[in-house]
């Protein structure tokens, strides 16, 4: 059976198995103190799994002694040590992992890695090496991570040259992780090359006098060699900083450079403006425009006026593509002041007008569009339409009605005429001129009977007629709508919301606690493995350790492609577990997945979005950071299990940002949260169906309707309706 058919079957399984009514009130979370001991551990698992280790550590610190059986006690001790490690309490973490040695057989394959990492970070690299050498002679969980940890421990031990050799080998054998490995290698050189070959340390103070060096058993040559190593590390750090590999935050570069400066004051404590500008160019070349805009804003603050002027065109374009329209408008304004006779002036003015409109500076946007219109021998259809559209967007509906009519009269053959007629009718509705609104919608149906958006015209016509009290005509219009579009978004809206007199946007239900029955059945995943073989996988999920689980899962499936999901209900089980852990309705995940990729695991978009939930690589790196993962490669997004894991986490972040509002969350998944925040600010007083109808991006407008329709289909156990 093809994967597409399988997943369609999974959706039916899901809808039968799980129910999350969108109208349900959010349950009040039970306080941690009132949970049973087993529930408390599951709650900690949930926090670890979703990347909220700080919250988990804080929650754990408030907890008193628990009455637990041996397995739950071991689980709690491991989680406690893991959280201490993530929180920077390395000595306590090392002690916690050490206390579990020989007692926690279910995680015996991963315990050495975490124990060694804690020991190294606690300042005991030699002990870390001993743990790894003793435990990982054969096949070991997470070979790349173990190898990197072993190399780092070697660097910090009595044999740093061995660490360098290992890192160079890793660069060759793991090219997809080269950025992270290079960063570890540089950190190795910075921290640990203050040694003679015999391991004798030198200090910064030892440079003061030859006599002091002699007392320490060092020679001036040894000090110079140490300084040379620091200079070499500085050169490599700057090179990597400029290349801007994904997955390494800028803060880590800054911290390491400051460490170098402390070791050798002749090394600058910060990257030069030119280094930072070159890095920004690298970010733009990788289509990482948001990061580029954020970093450029900081750089510009430290440049003199002359340098800022020379960068103005570049800066304006960067902020524009980063969707920081407020900052872009300021740069375009200064560019026009500094270069009033620029050959590209009209293009600059058009972009400035766009920035004004997209940052809610409507008066400025209108003034500029009118200036453009007056400078043209003959006003273009595009400019005329934009003026009317901005008036409508600014809620200046009286003027917008006139402007849309003028546009239609002046440009009767424009491809935007249908949209203008609809917008005029909508503005009339906003003004309470319902009879005129209906007349315009009637005209629309007569002129454009095959328009792909005719359903919204007929739907709102009968809504307007109902508001006018014309029950007979409303019924006729409604029957026409049902006959032609009885399975549309609008029909679903009627069934789910209007019949309940609900004008608010649907809310995601709240699932306060992950329970053991939500965990996927690993016997279904691995039907040919004995229960004992699956105990480690089960325990890793019970600990919330996604990364460790995924790596062992890949070992057991013997593939890096997770597409072969052999059993009918596998994906449904996985999706339910991940969605429940993240407090996301499973129906929402299915709906987004269907509209994004139609369940094609290898789907690629023109914009670079990948996989089942169409995640762009840079969003993937951001999600990886949020989940506290140690490594991530964009190609991982083509693996269904990873893609769903990341997509659900991103939906959870958006649901939190938009207070559980499903419509705003779905819109943000398509258009970005910045745009939705802007619309939310403009239209906060609108009923939900009007908010949806007024989404200005046509793609997002349609996307929200499609996803909500699919969401309701899953809720009502109907599956997907084409």
The answer on 536 and 495 residing in a single domain is no
Average pLDDT estimate for 319-331: 96
Q: Give yes or no for residue 524 having a pLDDT over 80.
A: no
The answer on 48 and 138 residing in a single domain is yes
Does 343 map to a domain?
no
Q: Give yes or no for residue 562 having a pLDDT over 60.
A: no
Give the rounded percent of residues in the chain with a pLDDT score beyond 90: 56
Give the model's pLDDT for residue 274. Answer: 95
The answer on 187 and 76 residing in a single domain is yes
pLDDT band for position 232 (cuts 50, 70, 90): confident
pLDDT band for position 366 (cuts 50, 70, 90): very high
Does 188 map to a domain?
yes
> Any idea what DSSP says for residue 615?
B
Give the model's pLDDT for residue 140. Answer: 57
pLDDT, mean over the chain: 85
The answer on 126 and 168 residing in a single domain is yes
The answer on 483 and 422 residing in a single domain is yes
Q: Give yes or no for residue 202 having a pLDDT over 70.
A: no
Average pLDDT estimate for 682-687: 80
Give the model's pLDDT for residue 193. Answer: 53
The answer on 529 and 465 residing in a single domain is no
Q: Give yes or no for residue 602 having a pLDDT over 60.
A: yes
Give the model's pLDDT for residue 353. Answer: 95
Asked whether 135 and 112 are in contact (CB, 8 A), the reply is: yes
Q: For the domain that residue 130 is a member of, what is the CATH number?
A: 1.25.40.10
Does 677 map to a domain?
yes
Average pLDDT estimate for 447-473: 93
Q: How many domains does the chain have?
A: 3
Asked whether 56 and 524 are in contact (CB, 8 A), the reply is: no
> Any idea what DSSP says for residue 33?
G
Alpha-carbon distances of 598 from 133, 410, 487, 705, 706, rounded to whole Å: 47, 42, 19, 16, 12
Average pLDDT estimate for 81-87: 95
pLDDT band for position 18 (cuts 50, 70, 90): very low
The answer on 182 and 40 residing in a single domain is yes
Reported as a single tens digit per residue, the pLDDT across 278-313 is 999 999 999 899 999 999 999 999 999 999 999 999
Give the model's pLDDT for residue 654. Answer: 97
Give the model's pLDDT for residue 227. Answer: 62
Average pLDDT estimate for 69-75: 88
Alpha-carbon distances of 269 from 207, 259, 302, 501, rounded to whole Å: 20, 8, 15, 62
Sign of CA dihedral 523, 528, 531, 537: negative
pLDDT band for position 719 (cuts 50, 70, 90): low
Nearest to 129 by CA among 117, 141, 111, 144: 117
Does 29 map to a domain?
no
Give the model's pLDDT for residue 78. Answer: 96
Q: Give yes or no for residue 70 having a pLDDT over 90.
A: no
Give the model's pLDDT for residue 418. Answer: 94
Give the model's pLDDT for residue 352. Answer: 96
The answer on 678 and 529 residing in a single domain is yes
Highest mean pLDDT among 129-138, 525-534, 621-630 belongs to 621-630
Q: For the domain that residue 669 is a member of, what is the CATH number?
A: 1.10.530.10
Reported as a single tens digit per residue, the pLDDT across 343-354 is 678 889 999 999
The answer on 108 and 69 residing in a single domain is yes
Alpha-carbon distances of 640 from 176, 433, 594, 655, 720, rounded to whole Å: 19, 51, 13, 22, 20
Of 443, 477, 501, the residue at which a domain comes to its end is 501
Q: Choose, from 291, 418, 587, 596, the residue flagged as catalytic.
A: 596
Highest mean pLDDT among 256-260, 341-345, 494-498 belongs to 256-260
Q: pTM for this structure?
A: 0.88
Reported as a single tens digit per residue, the pLDDT across 671-684 is 999 999 999 887 77
Give the model's pLDDT for residue 142. Answer: 58
d(CA 470, CA 436): 14
Does 666 map to a domain?
yes
Asked whether 318 and 280 are in contact (CB, 8 A), the reply is: yes
Is 596 part of the annotated catalytic residue set? yes
The answer on 79 and 139 residing in a single domain is yes
Q: Give yes or no for residue 431 having a pLDDT over 80.
A: yes
Alpha-carbon distances of 414 from 134, 389, 447, rounded to whole Å: 76, 15, 14
Reported as a single tens digit per residue, the pLDDT across 620-629 is 999 999 999 8
pLDDT band for position 437 (cuts 50, 70, 90): very high
Q: Give yes or no for residue 9 having a pLDDT over 90.
A: no
Give the model's pLDDT for residue 486. Answer: 79
The answer on 132 and 103 residing in a single domain is yes
pLDDT band for position 27 (cuts 50, 70, 90): low
The answer on 494 and 527 residing in a single domain is no
Host domain of residue 69: 35-197+223-242+251-266
């Amino acid at each position: 059976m093809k994967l597409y058919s399988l997943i369609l079957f999974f959706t039916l399984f899901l809808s039968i198995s799980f129910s999350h009514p969108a109208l349900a009130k959010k349950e009040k979370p039970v306080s941690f103190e009132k949970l049973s001991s087993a529930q408390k551990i599951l709650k900690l698992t949930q926090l670890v799994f979703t990347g909220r280790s700080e919250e988990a550590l804080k929650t754990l610190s408030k907890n008193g002694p628990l009455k637990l059986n041996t397995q739950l006690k071991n689980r709690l001790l491991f989680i406690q040590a893991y959280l201490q490690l993530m929180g920077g309490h390395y000595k306590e973490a090392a002690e916690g992992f050490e206390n579990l040695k020989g007692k926690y057989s279910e995680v015996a394959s991963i315990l050495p890695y975490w124990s060694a990492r804690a020991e190294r970070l606690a300042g005991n690299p030699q002990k870390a090496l001993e743990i790894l050498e003793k435990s990982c002679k054969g096949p070991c969980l997470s070979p790349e991570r173990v190898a990197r940890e072993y190399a780092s421990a070697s660097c910090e031990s009595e044999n740093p040259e061995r660490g360098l050799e290992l890192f160079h080998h890793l660069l060759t054998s793991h090219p997809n992780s080269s950025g992270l490995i290079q960063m570890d290698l540089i950190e190795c050189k910075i921290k640990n090359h203050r040694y003679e070959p015999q391991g004798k340390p030198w200090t910064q103070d030892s440079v003061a006098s030859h006599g002091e060096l002699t007392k320490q058993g060092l020679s001036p040559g040894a000090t110079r060699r140490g300084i040379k190593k620091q200079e070499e590390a500085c050169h490599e750090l700057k090179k990597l900083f400029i290349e801007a590999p994904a997955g390494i935050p800028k803060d880590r570069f800054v911290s390491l450079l400051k460490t170098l400066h402390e070791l050798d004051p002749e090394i600058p404590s910060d990257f030069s403006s030119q280094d930072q500008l070159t890095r920004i160019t690298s970010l733009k070349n990788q289509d990482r425009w948001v990061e580029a805009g954020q970093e450029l804003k900081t750089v510009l603050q430290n440049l003199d006026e002359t340098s800022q002027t020379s960068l103005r065109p570049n800066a304006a374009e960067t902020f524009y593509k980063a969707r920081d329209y407020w900052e872009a408008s300021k740069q375009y304004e200064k560019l026009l002041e500094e270069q009033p006779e620029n050959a590209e002036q009209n293009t600059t003015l058009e972009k400035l007008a766009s920035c004004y409109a997209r940052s809610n500076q409507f008066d400025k946007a209108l003034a500029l569009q009118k200036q453009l219109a007056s400078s043209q021998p003959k006003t273009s259809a595009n400019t005329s339409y934009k003026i009317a559209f901005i008036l409508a967007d600014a809620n200046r509906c009286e003027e917008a009605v006139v402007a849309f009519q003028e546009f239609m009269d002046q440009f009767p053959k424009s491809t935007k005429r249908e949209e203008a007629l609809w917008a005029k009718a909508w503005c009339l509705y906003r003004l309470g001129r319902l009879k005129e609104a209906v007349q315009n919608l009637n005209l629309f149906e007569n002129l454009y009977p095959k328009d792909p958006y005719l359903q919204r015209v007929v739907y709102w016509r009968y809504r307007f007629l109902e508001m006018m009290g014309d029950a007979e005509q409303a019924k006729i219009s409604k029957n026409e709508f049902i006959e032609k579009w009885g399975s549309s978004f609008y029909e679903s809206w009627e069934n789910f919301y209007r019949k309940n007199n609900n004008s608010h946007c649907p809310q995601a239900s709240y699932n306060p606690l992950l329970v053991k029955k939500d965990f996927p059945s690993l016997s279904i995943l691995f039907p040919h493995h004995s229960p004992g073989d699956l105990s480690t996988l089960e325990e890793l999920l019970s600990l919330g350790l996604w990364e460790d689980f995924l790596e062992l899962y890949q070992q057991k499936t013997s593939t890096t492609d997770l597409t072969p999901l052999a059993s009918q209900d596998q994906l449904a089980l996985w999706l339910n577990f991940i969605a429940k852990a993240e407090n996301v309705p499973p129906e929402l995940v299915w709906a987004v997945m269907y509209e994004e990729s139609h369940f094609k695991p290898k789907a690629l978009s023109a914009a670079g979005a990948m996989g089942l939930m169409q995640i762009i690589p840079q969003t993937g790196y951001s999600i990886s950071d949020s989940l506290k993962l140690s490594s991530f490669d964009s190609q991982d997004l083509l693996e269904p299990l990873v893609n769903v894991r990341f997509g659900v986490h991103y939906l959870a972040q958006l649901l939190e940002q938009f207070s559980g509002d499903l419509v705003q969350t779905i819109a943000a998944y398509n258009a970005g949260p910045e745009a939705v925040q802007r619309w939310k600010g403009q239209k906060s007083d609108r009923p939900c169906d009007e908010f949806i109808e007024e989404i200005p991006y046509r793609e997002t407008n349609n996307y929200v309707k499609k996803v909500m329709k699919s969401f309701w289909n899953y809720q009502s156990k109907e599956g997907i309706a084409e």
